[in-house]
Amino acid sequence: MIQLFHVSKFYDRCAALDDVSFRIDKGECVILTGPSGAGKTTLLKVIFGAEIPDTGQILVQNRNVARLRGRAIPYLRRTMGIVLQNFQLLPKKTVYENVVLPLVIQGVKRREARKRVVDVLTAVGMDHKQTIRTGVLSAGEQQRICIARAIVNSPILLLADEPTGNLDAALTVEIVELLKRIHAQGTTILLATHNQRVVEQMSGRVIHLQAGHVVIDEGATS
């Protein structure tokens, strides 16, 4: 599913990632941990093509992301769901309009899109708020909408960068449970967090980063 070979990324000669190599198989749930500035976000960014590594290669579903041209990036992102800490929702659009957007982009027919949106909103417990603008929702609700949007096109990979970073303990549990359910349905998950409770609740393989290096890789298959 994902393979990194000696990936390094520097910002002003300072290494955000330094010779990182690992492999994530289909269906795995991997939790990327480490203190702030360890390189977790940079690692996710190079996987979804927002950053180009300075050295090394990244294979995502057999596509070398490091060598992808700019215009191929949107098509790569359509195969994955991305959830960020700061929600990244369109606040003036409704819940339905936000969640349906990936399907519109991919040209899914309206009826089919509606069915899929209702299904995912039901799965995240937000189907009753379809017509509400996302700008007025609570943080926990916004993150659930964000997750719904990330999984609406049934991606085989879900990347989540500190998805509980802006949430309190109770909401964190809710989101973790939601991610566990998505994983149980066969979606590969790569979750970056520095929250130890999330790591414990998710119970997956843990890769610990420090100063851009992989220092621990618990449960690696190879």
Distance CA 92, CA 208 (A): 38
**Binding window for another protein (CB under 8 A); candidates: 11-19, 21-29, 98-106, 172-180:** 98-106
- What would the x/- binding string for another protein be over residues 25 to 64, using CB under 8 A? --------------------x---xxxx------------
Residue of the chain from 24, 38, 89, 95 that contacts another protein (CB under 8 A): 89
| Distance, first Cα to last Cα, the chain | 13
Neighbour-count burial of 54, counting CB atoms closer than 10 A to its CB (0-12 exposed, 13-18 middle, 19+ buried): middle
Distance CA 209, CA 216 (A): 7
Distance CA 48, CA 66 (A): 10
Is there binding between residue 77 and another protein (CB under 8 A)? yes
Residue 185 · residue 26 · CB < 8 Å: no
Residue of the chain from 6, 14, 27, 90 that contacts another protein (CB under 8 A): 90
- Give me the least distance between CB of 92 and another protein, in Å please: 5
- Give me the least distance between CB of 205 and another protein, in Å please: 25
Which residues are at the interface with another protein (CB under 8 A)?
45, 49-52, 70-71, 73-78, 82, 84, 88-90, 92, 101-102, 104-107, 149
